[in-house]
A and B are shown apart, each in its own frame.
Chain A
Amino acid sequence: MHLLKRILSVIPVVFGVLLLTFLLIHLVPGDPVEVMLGESASLSDSAALREELGLNQPLIVQFGQYLNKLAHGDLGHSIHTKTPISELIQARYPATVKLAFVALCLGLLIGVPMGIYAALHAGHWQDFVITIISVRFSAMPAFWLGPLLMLLFAVWLGWLPVSGMESHASVVLPALTLGFGLSAILTRMTRTSLLEVLNDDFIRTARAKGLSERTVILRHALRAALLPIITIVGLQMGSLLAGTVITETIFSWDGIGRLLVESIEKRDYPVTQACVLIVALSYVLINLVTDILYQVADPRMRHA
C-alpha cells in the first residue's frame, strides 16, 4: 500500500517537471524563433519553425501538443541539423550512464573502505585526517577538481589521457571528478553508521562467539550500516547527474551533459529542453527506485 502510494506520488512531480520544461522555451526574451534562427533567417524558415514548434497556438494547446508528442516518444527535431532529438539522446545517453556508473562505483570503492578504516581507528590520527579531508573537500566543484586531476595525472605524470573517450582509461579522470564528492560523503556516512552499530549487542555477541574481527566487521556490522549508505547514494545521484554537465564539458566526454551545453551554445532550444527533461526524469526515477530499495532492504520502513 505504502509502495503504491509512493509510486503514485511521482505523478504530480512528473507533471510539474513537464510543465516547467515546456515553459522553458517561452521564457526566451523576445521572439524565440528569431533568437534561435538569427535575425537573417528567411521569413519562410521562421514561419516553418513557428509552425513546427506550434508557437502560434494558445499556450494551453501547445502544452497539450507537447504532452501528446512526448507520449509518442517524439521529442522534436534539432533546429540546425534537423535530426530527431530522440536519436541524439539515444546516441549520447549511454556515455553519460557509463560515466555516472563508473563514478558511482569509484565513489563506493573509495568512500566505504575509507569510512571503515576511519571508524576502526576512531579517535586516532588516521580518523582525524580522513574526517578533515572528507568534510573540507566534499564541496570541491568539478570545474576545480577536474582541471587539478587533469594537470596531475594527464599533463605532468602522463598516466591517463587528458580528455576524449577513445580508450577505456579515458573514463577514469572524469569519473574520479564526478565521484569525488560522493566518496567524501560516503566516507563520513560509513564511519558514523559503523561507529553506531559497533556498540550494539549483536556485535558483542558475534565477537564473543569467537568470530574473526574481519567477519564481525564485514558480515555483521557493515550489513547493518548499509541502509544509510543506500539512502546517501540515492540522494547524491542528483548532484552526480547535474555534475555530468560540467565534467563532460571539461573532459570532452560526449554524453548528454555536453549535448546540453552544445545546444545552449547553438541556441538549439528544443534540444536543451529535451536534455533537461530527460535528466530530470532520470533523477525522479532514481529517487523512486532508491525509496523502493530502501523498503525492501528494511521491512521496518514499510510502516514508517
Chain B
Amino acid sequence: MAKTFAISILVFWLIAVLLARLMDVHGNAIDLQHILASPSWQYWFGSDDLGRDILARVLRGAEISFMVAIVVTIINMLIGVTIGLLAGFYGGKLDRLLMQITDVFLAFPGILLAIAFAAVLGPGMLNLVFALCLTGWVSYARLTRGQTKSLRSRQHVQAAESLGATPYRLMSRHILPLLTSLLMVEATYSLASIMIAEASLSFLGLGIQAPNASWGAMLRDGVRYMLVAPHYVLIVGLSLMSLILAINLGGDYLRDKLDVRTA
C-alpha cells in the first residue's frame, strides 16, 4: 500500500511539473490587484505577496529543487564512493588519512558547514550545489569504505587478484557492483535530505535567488505573511512534505526489495 501511495505522489508531481513546463507556466507574473489572495478558481493555491500564482511557483520550485537534489546526489556519490573505495581497498596510511578528513567534516553538525560556505560564496545556483556537496559525500565515503574493507578479503576478489587483476579492475568490476543496491538506497534517501537542506538554505536566503521560485524562499515569505495569509505557508509546506514522504517511502521500498540492511 505504501508503495502505491509513494508512486502515485511521485507520478502526480512529475506530471504536474511536466505540464507546467509544457504550458510554459513560470509563475513570475506580478498581479498587484490580487496580493495574498486565498485559493480560488483563478488561483488554485492562492497568490503570494506580489500576486504571483502560488501553484505555478510551487511547480517551478519542485522542478528546481529536484534538479538540484539529483545533481548534488550524483556528485556526492562520485566523490564519496571514490574516496571510500580507495580507503577501504588500500587500507593503512591512506585509509587513516582519508578517514581523518571525513571525521573533520563530520565534526560540523548537520548543515552548518553548508550554511557557512553558502554564506561566504554568495548566492547562486553553482555555489548552492557546491555548498551542498561539501558535506554530502561523507556518508557515501564511510559506507563504501566499510563495505569495501570487508569485500576486499572475499574469495572472488582474492581470486581475481591472484590472476593479476589491476587494483582498478578489482574495485570497478569485483567490488563496486556488489555495492550498487546499497548505494541506490542511500541515494534515494539522500535525495530527500538534500531537498530539505536546499530548502533550509533558501529559507535563510542563501540558496536560489528571486525571481526564481524555490520552496525554501516561499516558506520564508509564507512565515512572514502567516497572519494574513496562512494558506501560503501551509500549501508550500504540505507540497514539500508530500514529496519528501514519497521519496522516503520509495527508499523504504527499495531497501526491502533489494534486501539491503542499513545502519
Interface on A for B, CB 8 Å cutoff?
Answer: 12-14, 16-17, 19-21, 24-25, 27-29, 35, 136, 139-144, 146-148, 150-151, 155, 237-243, 245-246, 249-250, 260-261, 264-265, 269, 272-273, 276, 279-280, 283-284
Q: Are B120 and A27 in contact, with the CB atoms below 8 A?
A: yes
Q: Are B200 and A246 in contact, with the CB atoms below 8 A?
A: yes
Shortest CB distance A77–B (Å): 18
Q: Are A143 and B110 in contact, with the CB atoms below 8 A?
A: no
Q: Are B244 and A139 in contact, with the CB atoms below 8 A?
A: yes
**Contact status of A283 and B222, CB under 8 A, knowing A141-B200, A264-B204:** no
Q: Are B196 and A141 in contact, with the CB atoms below 8 A?
A: yes
Shortest CB distance B216–A (Å): 7
Shortest CB distance B240–A (Å): 7
Q: Are A27 and B121 in contact, with the CB atoms below 8 A?
A: yes
**Contact status of A151 and B104, CB under 8 A, knowing A29-B122, A238-B110:** no
Chain A at the B interface: SS class: helix
Report the separation of the CA atoms of residues A20 and B112 in the bound assembly, to the nearest whole angstrom: 12
Q: Which residues of A contact B113 (CB under 8 A)?
A: 20, 276
- Decide if B115 is an interface residue (CB 8 Å cutoff): yes
Q: Which residues of A contact B108 (CB under 8 A)?
A: 17, 20, 276, 280, 283
Report the separation of the CA atoms of residues A240 and B111 in the bound assembly, to the nearest whole angstrom: 11
Question: What are some 29 contacts across the A-B interface (CB < 8 A)?
Answer: A12-B100, A12-B104, A13-B103, A14-B107, A16-B107, A17-B104, A21-B116, A24-B120, A27-B117, A27-B120, A28-B122, A136-B245, A139-B244, A143-B200, A143-B203, A144-B219, A147-B226, A148-B237, A151-B234, A237-B109, A240-B109, A242-B109, A245-B204, A264-B119, A269-B119, A272-B120, A276-B108, A276-B116, A280-B112
Shortest CB distance A283–B (Å): 4
Q: Which residues of A contact B109 (CB under 8 A)?
A: 237-242, 279-280, 283
Q: Are A269 and B120 in contact, with the CB atoms below 8 A?
A: yes
Residue in A closest to B201 when the chains form the complex, CB atoms: A246
Report the separation of the CA atoms of residues A239 and B120 in the bound assembly, to the nearest whole angstrom: 22
Shortest CB distance A67–B (Å): 16
- Decide if B178 is an interface residue (CB 8 Å cutoff): no
Residue in B closest to A32 when the chains form the complex, CB atoms: B120
* 20 more A-B residue pairs beyond the given contacts A20-B108, A139-B196, A242-B111, with a C-beta to C-beta distance below 8 A: A12-B104, A13-B103, A16-B100, A17-B108, A21-B116, A24-B117, A141-B196, A143-B203, A144-B219, A144-B240, A147-B233, A155-B226, A155-B227, A155-B230, A238-B109, A242-B110, A264-B206, A276-B108, A279-B109, A280-B107
**Contact status of A239 and B237, CB under 8 A, knowing A12-B100, A155-B226, A246-B203:** no
Residue in A closest to B206 when the chains form the complex, CB atoms: A264
- Decide if B101 is an interface residue (CB 8 Å cutoff): yes
Shortest CB distance A244–B (Å): 9
- Decide if B91 is an interface residue (CB 8 Å cutoff): no
Shortest CB distance B5–A (Å): 11
- Decide if B192 is an interface residue (CB 8 Å cutoff): yes
Q: Which residues of A contact B101 (CB under 8 A)?
A: 16
